[in-house]
Chain A
């Protein structure tokens, strides 16, 4: 079945780095745009980043621009989020989400999420 499985979360000190992965299965990964969305504890959803199916375009929320990098490996059906210069306010559950089409900006499949905690 269609599935997204995130990994790579954990505890990191402020200023540190972490790379999240999202393994996709059950659909043709290379045909769809992909997003990262996060949710701080007890808070709402925050869109983080988008990558086009062919990697030609990448877009970021202002809150992470210049610190986070979204990428994908279509040969491995895997999405990534490289997070640098992490701050306490980046603490959240990070979800990868499949775009409904190539860039329809609706998220029709979500992973279970991976927790990132930024703390000293």
Chain B
């Protein structure tokens, strides 16, 4: 159950777009459409932002979008805002009937 691979940090200016990648294997990200993304502010519980690769829960801004190609999933945030500054984690179902998270990406809004 190796963690999915995410960049440790990304940054962008207000109004810009950024993309966070999440790389796994054919046994997790590449094999299923059960990829989800979470936002976590310091000291807070994570919040679901994207599920099933590209679906947004009710109440999540349409500035957040998800996609997948092969073994790599991506989260794109457009029109960056100061409140988007947080840690972001991807997660995937695996062939072992477990879940695995990425190591997390710290987003800085410059």
Contacts and interface: CB of A to CB of B under 8 A. Distances in A.
Interface of A: 35, 37, 44-47, 50, 57, 59-63, 95, 100, 104-108, 110-113
Contacts of B93: 105
A55 to B, nearest CB: 15
Contacts of A37: 46, 101
16 contacts: A35-B99, A44-B103, A45-B46, A47-B101, A59-B96, A61-B1, A62-B1, A104-B34, A105-B36, A106-B34, A106-B48, A107-B36, A107-B48, A108-B51, A108-B57, A110-B47
Given A104-B34, A106-B34, 15 more contacts: A35-B99, A44-B87, A44-B104, A45-B38, A45-B89, A46-B101, A47-B98, A47-B100, A59-B98, A95-B46, A106-B51, A106-B91, A107-B38, A107-B91, A110-B46
What 4 pairs across the A-B complex have the smallest Cβ distances? A106-B51, A105-B93, A110-B45, A47-B99
B53 to A, nearest CB: 10
Contacts of B69: none
Contacts of A50: 97-99
Given A104-B51, A106-B36, A44 B101 contact: yes
Contacts of B38: 45, 107
A34 B34 CA distance: 16
A100 B1 contact: no
Nearest to B57: A108
Nearest to B48: A108
Interface in B73-110: 87, 89, 91-93, 96-104
B99 A105 contact: yes
A100 B36 CA distance: 11
Contacts of A95: 45-46
A104 B1 CA distance: 19
A15 B46 CA distance: 29
A61 B52 contact: no
Interface in B13-67: 34, 36, 38, 40, 45-48, 51-52, 57
